[in-house]
Structure 1
């Protein structure tokens, strides 16, 4: 199975995220970390999420993108732009409510944009679990359908996180 990755570039306060190939939860830990840093910046003027080369995207990645859109709206008062040329990806993004926090455009742009791959380093089970849980909680905030769809998963992930935290506490004692 081919794996995808996320590339990133920034210029004068505009942040560009390019998702390439089959982008799944394990490909986006560094994206989630980057979003936390961007939230703290003062000079954010725009964001573009380029899905024109995305062939598959899972719900965790969609949740992290929802988090990006929500944070940009709440913290920086910016509505981010999402570029998509794949009707399936566009439909999925809209069905998850991302159209509420992004302007979704059908766009065929230059494939030679100067981005760099975000590297996923130091991925632990705990880090992955936290990212997946946070992403799905963010999707649940977008609409009632997502709330109903992901509530069982979130409850299960929360139980797993409690078990992981208690095992870690016992190990450190």
Structure 2
């Protein structure tokens, strides 16, 4: 049986903290996508982004693309590179393989290392469990497309790998 995906979020002292747990797949990414969209529309004050993947057991390309979109948001807002914690070797191999180290400060340590503005580096007490949103098939397709476009924007290697997926999605969404 697969581990249930869980997205926890807190905003403390303008630091947006994400804790992503379990299997992170496109089929359960709608809550994360909705939260990122709210960040992009500046309904959440955010001067720094910290992502904790230490309890993630699997991450697919759509979720990696959502993370790339978060990094793009930080760059557009002239924020520091987001910090990403991950001690999972398979996940780290994927993150480095897709060049997310260009967009994130990746720390391969447990989150007991205190990130700025998060005392003790522990999970803030006032985290919100972000629920999966009800997306239509069209909305989910657009989310997957946006995520893969964010991956392509990172570098030419990703473009070569994911351009066929993007082209197919664009064709299907017409």
Per the normalisation by structure 2, the TM-score is 0.86
- 1:121 & 1:33 partners in 2: Cα distance? 7
Unaligned stretches of 5+ in structure 1? Answer: 163-173
Aligned twin of 1:87: 89
Deviations 1:60-83 (A, max 9, x none): 000010000111112133211000
Alignment of 1:1-173 (within 5 A): 1-2=1-2, 3-41=4-42, 43-109=45-111, 113=123, 114=125, 115-162=127-174
Aligned partners of 2:52 and 2:111 also within 8 Å? no
Task: Say which one has the larger Rg.
Answer: 1
- 2:141 & 2:45 partners in 1: Cα distance? 31
Structure 1 residue 112, shift from structure 2 partner: 6.4
Q: Flag the structure with higher helix content.
A: 1
Aligned partners of 1:5 and 1:28 also within 8 Å? no
CA RMSD in angstroms, aligned pairs only: 1.8
Per the normalisation by structure 1, the TM-score is 0.86
Moved over 6 A (4+): none
- 2:146 & 2:41 partners in 1: Cα distance? 18
